[in-house]
Amino acid sequence: MSAMSPDVVIIGAGPTGLTLANILGRAGRSVVLVERNPSTVGEPRAVSIDDEALRTMQAIGLAGEVIKNVALDYGSYYVDAAGKRFAAVEPTTREYGFPRRNAFTQPMLEATLRRGLDRFPNVTTLFQHECLGFVDKGDRVAIELRDPSGGSLAVDAAFLVGCDGARSATRKAIGATLTGSTYRERWLIVDLASTKERLRQTRVVCDPARPLISLPGPGGIRRYEFMLRDDEADDKAASIDFARKLLAAHGPDAEAPIARCQVYTFHARICDIWSRERVFLAGDAAHLSPPFAGQGMNSGLRDAHNLGWKLVEVLAGRLGPRLLDTYQAERAPHASSLIELAIRLGHVMMPTSRVQAFAVQSAFRLAGLVPRLQSYFAEMKYKPKPFYGRGFVAAAGDSTIVGRMIPQPEVERADRGRVMLDELLGQEFALVAFGPDAQRAVADAAGRDFGIPVKEAIAVLPRWLNADADAPDVGTTVRDVNGAMKAFANDRETTVMLVRPDRYIAVAAGFTSRGMEEMAARARDMIANARA
């Protein structure tokens, strides 16, 4: 029996596990990624990737490669049984630097993430290996693997993360339980290798007789999702002939090449505990969402980013194990809110009667007459924004932005070159000041003790203001080109923020002598608590 001793073992090489491995690998931590299948997935699964997820791809240095296989920036049309549109979702904001709705194929994403690991000699991938069990010894986790020949491999890791999906063996091993419900309705998923449907948007047909969704994909592919009736057996529904009859009744794709037909039942469930000692759950192992909001995989990528930087800090000794206690406290509420959003959208997409369909659709049509309500739906303002009310965030004081993700504007440097903000923030804690006096605020903040090393200091000026030549030359000064920061913080005042590696604001204050003193003190208390 051979042995390995990495920092982290990850079970499961889906999008969550692959992303987590890239985060840890990029930070120089040793990782063993274990997957029982011979390769990443080859069949279509998740099809929607959002702005937050693309920002995570940017954080691991793979946004450019991922976007090559993504259809950016599409919307949704909601139509009634007669095909008449009653609502549209067409978001235009790029608050976090990317469009809010984008289409992708999971096989291409996973292949890109897998290739990304080749950058790191400190990451070992073990496909066709299975986790037989593990023992948490208090200071390490002893894991037993089975290799393709049936032999045993012992791995001794500081931490174990189960990204092993809906049927997670890791979840069962730590005694975690999924709570929630399973949808009674079954859906037939039909993935097409090519399509004649020219509509770029998703079409949501809210017909009580047969709700269906038609989703665009990159490279001229398309997915159809049809709700099945109780008398339609799974084996019959999954047949090519049955799928072609449904396609013929709902568009131009009756003869399109079919890549996959599969019947699914959806779940709305979340774990009661996400970790025990040195073992953690992430992705579908921790929560399962109906697909109606397109957030299942995206929530898993949020888990990976949240847990990943915390493992890095603890393994590096900059912060203590108590930091890891904030993982579930931060992630579970947002994951739950997105599951609830999916359930609510499901009620719109799956009316149970013509009376209910008429009532819901009429309400949307009336709302469309009110500009503010129309914008609320069209711009996806109903989607819960990421927010950490508790966890590794300091007492907010007078700030309303602590615990929120900082926007990512395009910014202009002194040489007039333009980049996205995250390219300047780096992978560690950073100071960001925004407002007319951002340069002096950054200089002040850079001289204070926040309890943790801060590598980057960025002064972001409002789009209407040039740099102050007389201000101290500290950190990097840029100008917000597209005004993304203005909607987040008052551009007539100056705000200083300590930004975590995952782009959430840990502590913030207005630029005054007292405000800066209190901000630094709150940060030191927060850091000390995480080290205790």
My answer on whether 160 and 52 are in the same domain is yes
Overall domain count for the chain: 2
Q: What is the pLDDT of residue 117?
A: 98
Residue 181: count other Cβ atoms within 10 Å of its Cβ: 11
**127 and 52 within one domain:** yes
Residue 287, in any domain of the structure: yes
Does one domain contain both 341 and 433?
no
Q: How many CB atoms lie within 10 A of CB 378?
A: 17
Joined tokens for residue 22 = 């890239």
Helices (H) and strands (E) in the chain, counts: 14, 28
The pLDDT value recorded for residue 397 is: 66
CB distance 426 to 58 below 8 Å: no
* CB neighbours of residue 416 within 10 Å: 7
Q: Does 42 lie in the same domain as 118?
A: yes
Q: What is the pLDDT of residue 124?
A: 98
* Residue corresponding to tokens 């929120």: 404
Clarify whether residues 440 and 291 are in a common domain. no
pLDDT tens profile 6-38: 999 999 999 999 999 999 999 999 999 999 999
Would 140 be classed as within a structural domain? yes
Q: Which of 294, 323, 346 is the last residue of a domain?
A: 346
The residue among 346, 379, 396 that closes a domain is 346
508: containing domain: 410-531
Does residue 300 lie in a domain region? Answer: yes
Domain check: are 337 and 415 in the same one?
no
Do residues 39 and 116 share a domain? Answer: yes
pLDDT on residue 53: 98
Report yes or no on 267 lying in a domain.
no
To which residue do tokens 């592919």 refer?
221
Last residue of a domain, one of 296, 314, 346: 346
Residues 335, 422 share a domain? no
CB-neighbour burial class of residue 3 (10 A; exposed 0-12, middle 13-18, buried 19+):
exposed
In a domain, 473, yes or no: yes
CATH number of the structural domain spanning residue 432: 3.40.30.20
Low-confidence ranges of the chain (pLDDT < 70): 1-3, 396-398
Q: What pLDDT does residue 76 have? A: 94
What pLDDT is recorded for position 285?
A: 98
Report the CATH number at residue 152.
3.50.50.60
* Residue 454 included in any domain: yes
Q: How many CB atoms lie within 10 A of CB 417?
A: 9
Please check whether residue 422 lies inside any domain of the structure. Answer: yes
Helix residue ranges per DSSP H, 426-483? 438-446
10 Å CB burial of residue 502 (0-12, 13-18, 19+) is buried
Residue 414 lies in a domain: yes
The reply to whether 160 and 23 lie within a common domain is yes
Say if residue 304 is in the same domain as residue 422.
Answer: no
Q: Do 162 and 169 contact (CB within 8 A), yes or no? A: yes
The DSSP secondary-structure symbol of 118 reads G
Query: Tell me: the pLDDT tens digits for 275-317?
Result: 999 999 999 999 999 888 889 999 999 999 999 999 999 999 9
Alpha helices (H) in 400-512, listed in sequence order: 422-425, 438-446
Q: Do 424 and 342 fall into the same domain? A: no
pLDDT value, residue 1: 38
pLDDT value, residue 470: 95
pTM, rounded to two decimals: 0.95
Q: Would you say 6 and 155 are in contact if contact means Cβ atoms under 8 Å apart?
A: yes
Q: Are residues 10 and 140 in the same domain?
A: yes
Beta strand segments in 84-122, E: 85-89, 101-103
